[in-house]
Amino acid sequence: MTNDIAHPLSAEDISEYERNGLLVREAGFLAEDELRELSAATPEILDSRGPEVVLERDGTTVRSVYGVHRTFAAVRDLSMHPRLVGAVGQILGGEIYVHQSKLNVKAAFSGDQWEWHQDYINWLRSDGIPRPSLVNVAIFLDAATEFNGPLMFIPGSQRLGLLPGKDRIGMPVNYEDAPSWVNTLTADEKFQVDRDAIRTLAEQGGLFSAKGAAGSVLFFHSNILHASLPNISPFDRKVLILVYNLVDNAPEHVDTPRPEFLAERSPVALVPRIGKT
């Protein structure tokens, strides 16, 4: 890390990200008061009722709330934080905007799995984004431990681009009557990666469990293979994920565009908010 808020990643940080496809910055990357603002907004986010809320397969537990940077000032402010905009700008090397945001709850006792997947294929096939130059920035709202379903990754798996796989046909079980765009947001992955490829890459790159204290910030590549187990612990594992994209990599035509709370269709370059440390 550096002390330059507009370029917070060191050369070593950037080469670690390029090698592994991920980078974890423990608590301290964002100031306590900013994290407090975000935590204060969380109950209201969890009270959301509408199409941006996706439930778990049990039909009652909230899995994710999408478009939170568009609806909640605390999230929008955070998405413009100079240290986040600076770090993502260093990784992507150009003007950026938020393509998608979500609060993934991974609720205590009933937070369901996320099968092994790559994120970018969703943004290519569903949103028409031409290149994988997107970065996920996950901000831990709860501590992620070995007990509450931490994100797990295969470091280096992003280097092969889109991996072989097949589409799950039809809507996932228990979502038969849901809107079509729910298809890629559930515990039953739509774009399934071949298990031989997953096994080979895991044997080569190993597995990494993204554990960390609340307030940790995790950057990960749009093509890195990742997953998470169900959470049967008594502790939530909430993460806010901001998906940044290059303005010059904006979505191209798709026959049925997804709602704006899932995919920004008219990107404007982000200007970092001044006045934050």
Nearer to Fe ion among residue 168 and residue 276 (C-beta):
168
Rounded to 10 degrees, the C-alpha dihedral 259/220/64/58 comes to 120
Both tokens assigned to 59: 């039909």
Determine if 126 is a binding residue for ligand 6CS (CB under 6 A): yes
For residue 117, state whether it binds ligand 6CS (rule: CB under 6 A).
Answer: yes
Site for ligand 6CS in 47-106 (CB under 6 A): 100
In 3D, which of 219, 264, 277, 273 has the Cα closest to residue 97?
264
Using CA atoms in the order 81, 101, 187, 131, what is the torsion angle rounded to 10 degrees? -90
- Minimum CB separation of residue 2 from Fe ion in Å reads 29
Residue 157 in contact with ligand 6CS, rule: CB under 6 A: no
The interface region with ligand 6CS, picked from 87-95, 116-124, 151-159, 209-217 by CB under 6 A, is 116-124
3-state secondary structure of 114: strand
Give the shortest CB-182-to-ligand 6CS separation in angstroms.
Answer: 9
**Which of 127, 120, 128, 149 is CA-nearest to residue 236?**
149
Nearest CB to ligand 6CS, comparing residues 29 and 116:
116
Per the CB < 8 A criterion, the answer to whether 112 and 189 are in contact is no
Q: Which does 126 bind (CB under 5 to 8 A by kind): ligand 6CS, Fe ion, none?
A: ligand 6CS
Summarize as ranges the residues that interact with Fe ion (CB under 5 A).
119
Q: How far is the CB of 226 from Fe ion (least distance, A)?
A: 6
- SS3 state of residue 8: coil
The least distance separating ligand 6CS from the CB of residue 185, rounded to whole angstroms, comes to 6
Strands 62-66 and 239-246: unpaired
User: Which residue is it, tokens 């169900």?
Assistant: 230
How do beta strands 239-246 and 165-167 pair?
Answer: unpaired
The interface region with ligand 6CS, picked from 16-24, 35-43, 114-122, 265-273 by CB under 6 A, is 114-122
Contacts to ligand 6CS by CB under 6 A? 100, 117, 119, 122, 126, 184-185
